[in-house]
Structure 1
Amino acid sequence: MSYGNQGDGGYGSQPPGGGYGQQPPSSGGYGQQPPSGGGYGQQPPSGGGYGQQPPSGGGYGQQPPSGGGYGGGYGQQPPSGGGYGGGYGQQPPAGGNPPDNHLVAAILTTLFCCLPLGIVSIVKSSQVNSKWQIGDFQGAALASEEAKTWWKRSLIAGIIWWVLVILFYVVVFVLLAASVPSTSSY
């Protein structure tokens, strides 16, 4: 393949027997064009390369091999006999309703108890319904439990805070009352 009268070698000449990006047929590797004159981006006929599935199991959307190693992945169904591994594409649990998101308790403890811990609780409770809608049922249950844990922590921190504030005011009042001289009338 040559372009015009370019002679033997020099600037602009093509290598003998090949075009741009071709590898000699004797070596292997990705990016090599097949010796049958394929085009750009073709994979060797021996298989492998990007975009191809491995020949023996594995990959998204495939069933795990005969009863072993269920960890929950995209599109997998639990093996027969139950087990709730939690992954995308699973059937909802028996109730069919999402778990409680504890949003009201999270908001109340944020307003009246401990702001930082309450914010974490609100974030976790907002994740419950969104995870349920995309099919991550185990993630929704976990987010519900974490929301409950964080609003309880916020409540406990708030109770401790308000007890300390009340004790502080009582101590200050007692000290002020003790320092005021008493006037007695005879």
Structure 2
Amino acid sequence: MNRFALGKAQRRIERATVRYNKLVSASDHPEIVDLWDEFLHDLQAIFNAVGNAAGTNGKSQAWFARKKQERKNDELLQYLHQARHAAEHGIAPIASRMPGLMTIKTPDGVPLFVIPELILDPDFEKNTNLKVAHALPQVVLTVVQNKGVLYKPPTVHLGVSLADRSIANVAWLGLSYHARMVAEAETMVT
């Protein structure tokens, strides 16, 4: 492994971490989409730097070939890779805004109806026996396309089902994977 190329990968990890922190604290839809796009580019740059670091060393090349195969076979890693391609070369959005919802429920929790982005009088629940549940607007991952192939937002990562499929969690899992990959590569520096 080439130490200089790994240094570049480590700097990109730091950059991606800063972007991730901005992403999870952002509340404006266009800002979140822009940060997501930039974050995806950071992950690709990390992967490329590690590939360059593997260079011509047989052991490093074999290890990186396994990482490439892992990215190809893992739903989350493949999605991140293809979303970056879609962001760079496509015209469709790589994330979209899901409006907030309000659900009116009976006292025992049975939903009566769902209303998109409606604001009720704060005393509504006090004046009825109905319960109100709010879901705030959020940015969600979209199906992305590359060379005619559709890639759905991931539901599994490294064999584990994703209970949380939010953009923040998918970003965190991707960042964590890439940071572990760089740390593993650093153990092979010659």
TM-score if structure 1 supplies the norm length?
A: 0.22
Pick the structure with greater CA Rg. Answer: 1
Flag the structure with higher helix content: 2
Could you say which structure has the higher strand fraction? Answer: 2
More relative contact order, 1 or 2 (CA 8 Å, 6+ apart)? 2
| TM-score between both structures, scaled by the size of structure 2 | 0.22
